[in-house]
Structure 1
């Protein structure tokens, strides 16, 4: 059964999360530091829930680094799967087999979203529920802790955690098989919609009620079963059609336009509810995700704005090549070598200055754009992927292996989704031990094997476990070893593989040489650590049987390689940032959907919550990651210059620096409570941007939108040259002319209002053509890209509330302006039902009386 692709058989049996006999266990609050001391432990860049004193110091030190023990300066996170119980005849991998002293975190895979939008592992009291109601009599080390009101894996996780208190456990929700549905008690898949339905309505708006229900249930679940946090494995909230599990396409594709917005609300809601629970329980709860690493998937996830809410991200830097297409390549290369056949065929190298995006180094740098290096963990696979019938390439590498009959492509690949890229000819039988089953119960070709089986193939040993996985070597030639499996290694890619020349089979592997190089990379780059999918794929040699089986050889290598590593990187910025900070929110939006999102040209918005104007001519600087060529530009009339370039040219051997930095000149004053937008242009996906500074009046300030540690929020002194005039209606921008051609960013006046061109235009009348962005009534001051409000707020001398009245049922994006209680208010971020002036979240900025 294949790693991330298998449907496990836990299900939702009862409407409620827990049976009545399950006692809710809430940790008694420990003595903890005062709020100021807790803030000293907050990781750099981590979102701060307003009005809540979060006990960060229970998990982090005063540098904002996670405390994991003297011999664990870097994370070693292992996924433990629910389905390897031994009940089906295949080898078991139980909690007692985990190398507890060599890991720092264990992610239990998987829980799911049930039909009531709650987290679930099925009916806790159902017979043989592996999580809560299964035992393993006679297995040494798998004896239950009788003090707990449940058995199963959860009992053993808590039993061993008591013996290893430095290890943290997280419940992982979703996965490939249970992002959009779940398996019920009878073993049938329920197409419930899962994350897609829980987060997003049928009209592609945010399902606030569903998200709140889910987040509340997560808090209860963690308290009940003793978990230290939740890991969201949502595959995938991307705007790209036909992404993720083909069984989810009907649910997901209909909601693509709303998935990014709802994902951000989901993660913010989880963060805030976990923080409130932490304040009550006296312990900080972790919030993490398993995130895609492919540039194609990430292009549809905007700038991954949800990263600010996470303790750390686990990059799924594997599954980068596989039999879903015919391009034969490594599962989890560390670097690009300039020869990736899939990227070359797509013209990627020529289009993006030689940068290839199907490798671990690119994925790390993507997330580095928004996070300190220590809040990024790279994924390593303890499993293989592979093809049969390979032609060309070097011992198969970068060859081709198309399925001979392209009318029979597996679901989600090739002709089954109308793609012109041929589906691959995945390896089968003896070369596909951990295979998936399709909806008809047939083997899905893919070359998926645990590393211990790959070691046996390499040694030419037929293991005694084959029948437990449904193989019948006595009667089926495909289930027998034939030919020789020769190990190959590319130092340029940091990728090993097995090549069977007789069978033309290519199996991409992970072994001690590649893993040692990745561990050294983690150390050198200051990364937080590694994430393993999955622990049961690790190997050890059984001399009595003369074969490899489940073990901890690779995990031990990681532990030995990382135990003396220096502390991980805890600062988001690579430059010295100012300590004086302005209350200015930063947001990215306006992304096109799916394949239309190229070139990538979102709007960067600055919202001024300082109480004083930001003058025209202010200098805005920020970093963006080197995952895109250093050619970022703008199309809104803001002068842009490059400050520093972190990388140029191809990324063979890795991207050289973390960030590129640019400077933009704000062309018009930004009044208090107002915002300014600039449209950016870049080619490959980025997270962030980050590390913003604003300079004017002889001072340089940081911005609160970065959630940096330390610093002092200040109000800038008024600047006469940048003040916004209190009244007047003179249009100072040139009058629009039908005969004039305007480039993107051009500013005109028309019908008493100022307008900004989004792109090149001629003959299209402002107010009737979407190319023109309405910047509001003329104020006597040119404002090429500033908008006091999108709703026509009253001038400062007015006495009535012209902004729309706040409504509890309306969802407001950041920057929205409303009136309430005789005052005008600006939303600092997305909000719904938070009452201006009375809520404790700080979402609404009071702009004064109408």
Structure 2
């Protein structure tokens, strides 16, 4: 009798664990997922695992030999700390993000069958070694030079083939692990940055896209502006970028709405020497001066030291203007994030993605996302 009871208990436990691996991602939170990037650091920032569905660990790199590698000596410890969070939220997924701004060697890794096999084998080895839940590729950007990375016109087709190789290999690995589903996602920008991607084709392969719907105005753009605006401002030229414009571009290419995570930024973009018209919006500047975190914005800038908060009702975005120093700061805050979660719901998107956990140490912005997507 005792043996039968123990056997039944073991069976129930196995079924429970299997259901956790097979449940729709974000199911514990309803219909929308929250994906957060966490940069390698020791110690890691405070993380509430019950508030997040997927953590993307940033970053692994691509070696000159075309293999996925952990370059940081602290990465193994960080990954162990992240996977330990499953004890507090068994449905939490930990994904290895490969790449990032300035990361090269993707073009070589995707070049041919042999190189794609080599990269895939190395990525899966890391997934198995550290008990991870998938891989997220952050290639910035196929076919483009970006910050001096190697590139070639054939990257467009090669990227599709690399993702298809990864998907087939991840599915095979999952079959070997009791039907466990391993995630395959990418970080993607909009506008001309997606010209090097076969969107509809890769959309069939990926679990979802993490849309980098931020950094619309940076040191690389000639004017200030809302760096993460949901819509265009009244002063924005037609060819400028916005969150909604990015979503519409992906939908028009045939990507299902549920495979799109709207990206939000836990930091701002600051410009000095800005022309005063429109309190600095969409104006030329003399110097880009940085990317203050939400923590820094809250403590030092918002309605402090001559910085006055303004709200753009059309763009659904805040900004700071210092009339004395002619300094302009574009950023995200609870009001803009509430608008974005409402947008995700009204357009039937998959959820949100944010960069990056350590920039919001008190989880004030994360709490807005949780309330907006999981609240009543």
> C-alpha offsets along residues 21-57 of structure 1, whole Å, 9 cap, x if unaligned?
xxxxxxxxx679xxxxxxxxxxxxxxxxxxxxxx999
Partner Cα separation in structure 2 for residue 291 and residue 485 of structure 1: 33
Aligned match of 1:456: 299
Report the CA distance between 1:260 and its aligned residue: 0.4
Residue of 332, 344, 357 corresponding to 1:535: 357
Instruction: After TM superposition, give the deviation of residue 300 of structure 1 in Å.
Output: 4.1
| Larger RCO of the pair (alpha carbons < 8 Å, separation 6+) | 2
1:230 corresponds to 2:155:
no
Alignment of 1:308 onto 2:204: yes
CA deviation after TM superposition for structure 1 residue 371, in Å: 2.6
- Aligned twin of 1:217: 122
* Aligned residue runs from structure 1 range 432-451, under 5 A: 447-451=290-294
2:234 equivalent to 1:285:
no
The aligned residue for residue 502 of structure 1 is: 324
Q: Secondary structure at 2:280's aligned position in 1?
A: coil
Q: Alignment partner for residue 258 of structure 2, among 356, 360, 374?
A: 374
Secondary structure class of the residue paired with 1:367? helix
Bigger radius of gyration, 1 or 2?
1
How much has 1:450 moved relative to structure 2? 0.6
Distance 2:28 2:108 in 1: 43
The 3 A distance-change label for structure 1 pair 300 and 230 is closer
State the alpha-carbon separation in 2 of the partners of residues 57 and 208 from structure 1.
34
SS in 1 for 2:235: coil
Candidates 164, 169, 172, aligned match of 2:97: 172
1:107 maps to 2:73: no
1:563 match:
374
Contact 1:76 1:530 in 2 (8 A): yes
Contact 2:142–2:156 (8 Å) recurs in 1:
yes
Give the match's secondary structure for 1:394.
Answer: helix
The counterpart of 2:338, out of the listed 496, 516, 521, is 516
Aligned residue among 206, 221, 235 for 1:339: 235
Show the counterpart of 2:88: 163
Q: Hey, what does 1:59 align to over in structure 2?
A: 22
Work out the number of aligned pairs and report it: 360
Distance 2:21 2:363 in 1: 30
Confirm whether residue 199 of structure 1 aligns to residue 110 of structure 2.
Answer: yes
| Preserved CA contact (<8 Å) 1:326 1:400 | yes
Cα displacement string for residues 95-149 of structure 1 (whole angstroms, at most 9, x for unaligned residues): 5x112111111000000112332211137xxxxx1112xxxxxxxxxxxxxxxxx
Q: How does 1:56-455 map to 2 (within 5 A)?
A: 58-60=21-23, 66-82=24-40, 84-85=41-42, 94=44, 97-122=46-71, 129-132=73-76, 152-178=77-103, 180=104, 194-200=105-111, 207-238=112-143, 240=144, 242=145, 244-245=146-147, 247-248=148-149, 251-252=150-151, 255=152, 257-282=153-178, 283-293=180-190, 295-301=191-197, 303=199, 305-340=201-236, 344=237, 349=238, 356=239, 358-369=241-252, 370-401=254-285, 403=286, 425-427=287-289, 447-455=290-298
CA separation of 1:173 and 1:388: change in aligned 2, threshold 3 A: same
- Cα distance, 1:535 vs. partner? 1.1
* Structure 1 unpaired stretches of 5+: 1-29, 33-54, 61-65, 86-91, 124-128, 133-151, 181-193, 201-206, 350-355, 404-424, 428-446, 462-482, 539-549, 566-850
Q: Is the 8 A contact 1:322 1:331 kept in 2?
A: yes
Report the CA distance between 1:363 and its aligned residue: 1.1
**Are 1:71 and 1:564, in contact at CA under 8 Å, matched by a contact in 2?**
no
Distance in 2 of aligned mates of 1:122 and 1:279 = 30
The Cα offsets for residues 420-474 of structure 1, whole Å up to 9 and x where unpaired, read as: xxxxx212xxxxxxxxxxxxxxxxxxx211111011222577xxxxxxxxxxxxx
What do residues 323-349 of structure 1 show as CA deviations (whole Å, max 9, x unaligned)?
213211011100123531xxx3xxxx4
CA separation of 1:400 and 1:459: change in aligned 2, threshold 3 A:
closer
**Which string of whole-angstrom CA distances, capped at 9 and with x for unpartnered residues, describes residues 586-620 of structure 1?**
xxxxxxxxxxxxxxxxxxxxxxxxxxxxxxxxxxx
Question: Do the aligned residues in 1 keep the contact of 2:268 with 2:293 (CA within 8 Å)?
Answer: yes
Distance 2:101 2:65 in 1: 20
Alignment check: 8 A CA contact 1:171 1:230 kept: yes
Cα contact 2:157–2:197 (8 A) shared by 1: no
Structure-2 separation of matches of 1:304 and 1:221: 28
Alignment of 1:574-723 (within 5 A): none
1:213 Cα offset (Å): 0.7
Deviation at 1:533, TM superposition (A): 0.4
| Separation (CA, whole Å) in 1 of partners of 2:200 and 2:318 | 31
Where 2:176 maps in the other structure, the secondary structure is: helix
RMSD: 2.2
1:745-784 matches, within 5 Å, as none
Once residues 364 and 244 of structure 2 are traced to their aligned partners in structure 1, the CA distance between those partners, rounded to angstroms, is: 24
Contact 2:270 2:292 in 1 (8 A): no
Whether contact under 8 Å (1:198, 1:210) holds in the other structure is: yes
Corresponding position: 1:554 with 2:365: yes
Preserved contact between residue 50 and residue 88 of structure 2 (Cα < 8 Å)? no
Q: Give distance in 2, aligned partners of 1:491 and 1:459.
A: 18
In the alignment, is the contact (CA less than 8 A) between 1:110 and 1:171 conserved in 2?
Answer: yes
Conserved? CA contact 1:80–1:109, under 8 Å: yes
Separation in structure 2 between the aligned mates of residue 304 and residue 385 of structure 1, nearest angstrom: 32
Other structure's SS at 1:177 match = coil
CA distance in 2, matches of 1:303, 1:105: 23
Do the aligned residues in 2 keep the contact of 1:393 with 1:400 (CA within 8 Å)? no
TM-score, structure 1 length as denominator? 0.41
Counterpart CA distance in 2 for 1:516 and 1:217 is 40
Paired with 2:333 and 2:20, the residues of 1 have a C-alpha distance of: 37
TM-score, normalised via structure 2 length: 0.90
Check 1:334–1:56 CA distance in 2 against 1; reply closer, same or farther (3 A cut).
Answer: farther
